[in-house]
Structure 1
């Protein structure tokens, strides 16, 4: 592990920053094949540990929405790396959530189907999760975590005394979480919101429904932690950001045929 971390640190110094599909500077240095294998392993494990819904009507609806979104994502962000194939599963879980893993694995919780009032609201969440994969956010987070561990290791090398080393590393750990890890995660969420809004609009799903979806999510989730201490923007910030970009999304939506996944 130490050799991997130090190797990543050296690679970081040599390669510098890359750009995400929206032009944001980032570092995502883990090989795509490694990320895909991790996504596959994680998805298999989740299917083993959680009941999977097999009702044909639910599966067809979720797959139809996902298929429309993937076609739109490829058209909207042609230079973003896309998995060759995608797998979708609906989990029997009351939490209103969804996720996407590297390698093209998408999971939707049954609780989200109750919060999302229509197919456009469901598309808002799935499009957001697809955007995470296209923007390599998982890779960036893992690169970031390995970089933090490399920094901790270097601190340990130059610190004398076991007590001082523990104190410094503990302080750096807290500082890294509040100053680096969490803000970057919020940046990922905001970028996925921006990309997801364009993806759903280009796929033919009314972009205004993204705002309604997050209003529903706010009612379902209740109190949230302070935004400063959260990896996600709070619901009000997210809704305000979506509204500020709605004119561009509506222009995209006006140019395509409305999607229909009422199967």
Structure 2
């Protein structure tokens, strides 16, 4: 079987074997690994991470992370229920932990397991700043971005394997591996990741608004982030959109986020 035919077959089989619906766009997404498989692994990895790192407990900052996290989770539930996705979060096991680490980062694993590093708190500044970060990270989990990235990686690896099997000439196979490795990353995997980041921004700013936090804080947060963690990587080679693009896009999304919040009776916001 020729390489082109093998590639088409792999992509076709992958799309038939597993898909899920993104509750925020209504579109079908790749799901070669189900959440039934993914969540238990995620929960175990989260527990292992907490055992290996210094978790901050009982402080005002730790309480803020939990309080904001609960409001974002409640906002997500309200939004999903209102849009016909009742029970979507039934398998989520929300946890919110602050970890003593200077890294300017936060993340949410599949199934609702959240970590904030103390290093990002000076950038967040306020509860609304925390909510902007929290909304974005939670959005990744709600839209099953981890599941999609794993699925895309399986397809990428499958095509690479197919190429190495189909191409018998060693020199041609070496050229295929060289160009496919660069091409699939720059032309597919990195744009895929950037699209997830942009989608998480769109979802996250709505969640923070429904939770009662001023969505206008989101672009301001990224202005501070640009000062603290400037990136010299060209956008085309990055997993994330350029910070200037994010600031511009988030600024444009503020009116829509407020309009969405109004549907839930939220018309005043804390910042």
Unaligned runs of 5+ in 2: 1-8
Residue 213 of structure 2 corresponds to 205
Counterparts of 1:9 and 1:34, CA distance in 2: 21
2:242 counterpart (234, 242, 249):
234
Aligned residue pairs: how many? 255
Contact 1:76-1:198 within 8 A present in 2 as well: no
Unaligned runs of 5+ in 1: 1-6
**1:239 CA drift (Å):** 0.8
Residue 249 of structure 1 corresponds to 257
Q: What secondary structure is seen at the aligned counterpart in 2 of 1:245?
A: helix
Task: Compute the RMSD of aligned alpha carbons.
Answer: 2.3
**1:234 CA drift (Å):** 1.2
Name which of structure 1's ranges 19-28 and 86-95 shifts more when overlaid on structure 2: 19-28
Counterparts in 2 of 1:31 and 1:47: CA distance versus 1, 3 Å: same
Pairs within 5 Å for 1:28-107: 28-78=31-81, 79=85, 81-82=88-89, 83-107=91-115
**1:18 CA drift (Å):** 4.8
Kindly indicate whether residue 192 of structure 2 is the aligned counterpart of residue 184 of structure 1. Answer: yes
Kindly indicate whether residue 169 of structure 2 is the aligned counterpart of residue 161 of structure 1. Answer: yes
**1:76 CA drift (Å):** 1.4
Counterparts in 2 of 1:187 and 1:259: CA distance versus 1, 3 Å: same
**1:11 CA drift (Å):** 4.1
Name which of structure 1's ranges 86-95 and 39-48 shifts more when overlaid on structure 2: 39-48
TM-score for both structures, normalised by structure 1: 0.89
Counterparts in 2 of 1:259 and 1:46: CA distance versus 1, 3 Å: farther
**1:64 CA drift (Å):** 0.6
Counterparts of 1:251 and 1:10, CA distance in 2: 40
Counterparts in 2 of 1:117 and 1:196: CA distance versus 1, 3 Å: same
Contact 1:29-1:143 within 8 A present in 2 as well: yes
Contact 2:191-2:239 within 8 A present in 1 as well: yes
